[in-house]
Amino acid sequence: GENELPLCIPGEVRADSLASTKPVLLWASTLNAGARDLANAVVAAMPGSISVTDAPPSLLSCSLPRSSDSGGDEATHMLLYLNKATWAGDGGEVLAEQVRAARRAKLPIVMAHENDAVRGGCIFGHFFEVTPRDLIADGLYHDIAIGCHSGPHRQVSLALLAKALGATKQTAQSRVRRVFLAQPTQNRGTEPREQSVGDQVA
């Protein structure tokens, strides 16, 4: 209900305690069902740090026409969203080729494994049955996929995705210091203790 308190687990990762030092442009392929929605959720959790495009980077030799929504900027990462629909249908092989091209070009791929059944979640073993064999043999799943869970745990999942894209707590602390130092001297009061800055991002 409206009067419920948010779930807060000591030591958990929270998106509002993170910031990114470099701009991130996350590519969510139009052939990867649900990827754009998840990418948009990460952007909402990290406003100003991450943006999304459905345009494949020019360095990828993909056969699909390129979208123009990136405004000329090149994607810095690819999001691979894994759920029941991934690798299925007519677009599955084209998505596989996009992943192959991204790996050849050394474009970082951040994988998210959907666990929420409402969003098409499934056990991870399913992907060893449906993923093209060459991608499995090439080590696609050697990197850990970030679990995306439902309910209050969703925000933790988004924070972990943000961390995989380069966000850190340290940069969040630096941001707090920069905001403080940018204030007029008469409005600063006393210098904050290091502990108090850490408390704000814990």
Instruction: Scan for tokens 């360095």, then name that residue.
Output: 59
CB atoms within 10 A of CB 146: 19
> What is the structure's pLDDT at 189?
47
Calpha distance 153→70 (Å, rounded): 30
AA identity, residue 149: H
18, 175 contact by CB (below 8 A): no
Calpha distance 113→49 (Å, rounded): 23
Q: Are strands 50-53 and 109-114 parallel, antiparallel or unpaired?
A: unpaired
> What is the structure's pLDDT at 4?
40
What's the order of all strands across the beta sheet hosting 146-148? Answer: 50-53, 24-28, 77-82, 109-114, 146-148
Kindly give the confidence (pLDDT) of every residue in the chain, 202 residues in length, as a single tens digit, with 9 standing for 90 and above: 444 434 444 444 444 445 556 789 999 999 999 999 999 999 998 877 889 999 988 877 554 445 545 456 889 999 999 999 999 988 999 999 999 999 999 999 999 999 999 999 999 999 999 999 999 999 999 999 999 999 989 999 999 999 999 887 754 444 444 434 444 545 444 443 433 333 444 4
